[in-house]
Structure 1
Amino acid sequence: MSVARPSATDANFRDDRPQWSARTAANGWPAQERRLSYGGVELTMPTGLVRLYPEMRAVKLSGQQAATLAVLIACAGKPCDRKRIAAAMPPGFRPPQLGQIGVVISNIRRKLGPHRVSTGAGGWWLEDLVGFGDLNESGTFSYGELRLDVARRRVWLSGQQPVMRLGWQEFLVLQTLMEARGTPRDRNFIWQAMPTRIRPQKASAIGVIVHRLRQRVGRDLIVTGGGGWRLAGPPTPDRVIAHASNEFVLDPAACSVHLADRPAPIRLSPQQAATLRILIEARGEPLRGAQVFERLPDALRPNNPVAVGTAISRLRKKLGPDRIGVSRQGWRLT
């Protein structure tokens, strides 16, 4: 899967790689430069330069490490054992013993980050940290009328011109909205989803970035409501379908809940809507704070499991304390 590549002039891109001469084809390494990428890891062959996304950081691998990483990239998230890795490596970089493959991968994990390379019974594999699950073969992500070229940070409307290139902040905000697929995202959610080196100093500046996006793609395509912003387009069924539990009907996309005894919907924050959805899907089973905390999306989690009680306390005030029961086993819908 292709990912966006910042140019040498892009701001906030840290290049901490040492200088290193290119390998020749004598070791079985391709002499012509080409790039391999998967899950936010882009390897340039034959230089061994790796660029990491969304951190936008460059690191340098040895020839043997680069050859090993190339095999993991080719496996595209599927486990790859020692024998398969060694067989796919160029002969000049293949270690003399299979057991040394593990040492090479340990060094790769140290440079890229242990969260990027996972290990299990089937071997090692790269984790996909980019998150564009609906990319087509051309590396384009689509939602509604919008088309986003992830590799080049270009956006356009379906069947229309011109194609517009986005800045990094605009691209990352639009990426978050497209991944939400019609679910509102507030400024804090978007701000926390952006890499630290790229996001503005304060979450309040997200509104300015959204304003710039609207000027470029059209005001009608970015809708305000539900406690944040969302993209106009076809809803994703599993996110906007109503979840009913006795007198509850929750609309996660609009962050609102309908009660049988109240004429108007009750507005919820994204965190409250996600918490209520977890309680609804538990179907009356009591849940402790730690269980709710684990099921909440990362960006909507409070600082710790104990703080879940605060979110549920606010829910009880909005919905009525008789609708959410409390016991030693936890909280449940009554």
Structure 2
Amino acid sequence: MRYRTLGASGCAVSTLALGTMTFGAETDEAGSHEQLDRFVDAGGTLVDTADVYAGTESEAIIGRWLASADPAVRDRVVLATKARFPTTDEPNSAGLSRRHLSLALDASLRRLGVETIDLYQVHAWDPYTPVEETVRFMDDAVSAGKIRYFGLSNFTGWQLQKTVDVGLHRHQVTPVTLQPQYNLLAREIEWEIVPACAANGLGLLPWSPLGGGWLTGKYQRDARPTGATRLGENPERGVEAYDLRGADERTWDVVDTVQTIARERGCSMAQVALAWTQQRPAVTSVILGARTTEQLADNLGAADLVLDPEEMQRLDEASDPGVGQYPYGRLGREQRDRRISGGR
């Protein structure tokens, strides 16, 4: 296992993180604890959850595991959770207001059975709460010893920049990480969000690095998925819906390229896809989301897999989402690089 710092902070974490959205939902408590044991045994340190995962049960499962774990194991774990979405029907049970976040943080601390959360992340932007209120809350939470670092999730480039600017202007805490969807089939964050992270010292914590299973080779071009898989149970599930991604020829070009490199390397397709994500600019740690310990064990095989420049280029070319000439394409790049003159 390799390690990197959480953005510009001094806190080191494993380059693979254990995502726990399946805990208490698709994975029972015994299986969840088995995954946690396997992850830390492999050298993993960053464990990521959220208060809304499995209706708060994911945090509770992790809390019971921490309570039973050896103190040395607990000390190695860097614990991350999130708040933003409702866990009750109370009118103020959502958003990034001081009221909601203070109640959500205290509830997460109780469920996890800890005094301090290492990385406390806002799960998404809140258009109703001033950024100043949210940043001030995070600053107070750090001062109170309830959290160590502050992170973002699912923010756009301008939202990220505004949050950083507010913290800097007021001499308060600024975020150290951003957690976005990022994989070979979803690269659009490279246009604005990745540069904003790099410019401000935020580390990326990509979620869905396997594209909801697409990059593992489990789905076929002419066979609608069935059975005990994400899309087998619900083919129209979210951004990875079969009819949405399966209708895009680029999807199959990417899958074919990943498969070819996996065969050449003698490893799984999942390991190739994870290795590509680990090697992208600004990435701190890639969040794994496995249903079973067997899936997790295969994913962990990517920890020390390093793709060579030629392999990275093949994957980059197959997965290129394409852009117009302006502002992200050739014309925009030339203007930004000052290689042309003469106004518009």
- Both structures adopt the same fold (TM-score exceeding 0.5): no
Normalised by the length of structure 2, the TM-score is: 0.30
From the CA coordinates, give the structure whose radius of gyration is larger: 1
Report which of the two has the higher share of strand.
Answer: 1
Normalised by the length of structure 1, the TM-score is: 0.30
Task: Using CA pairs under 8 Å that are at least 6 residues apart, name the structure with larger relative contact order, 1 or 2.
Answer: 2
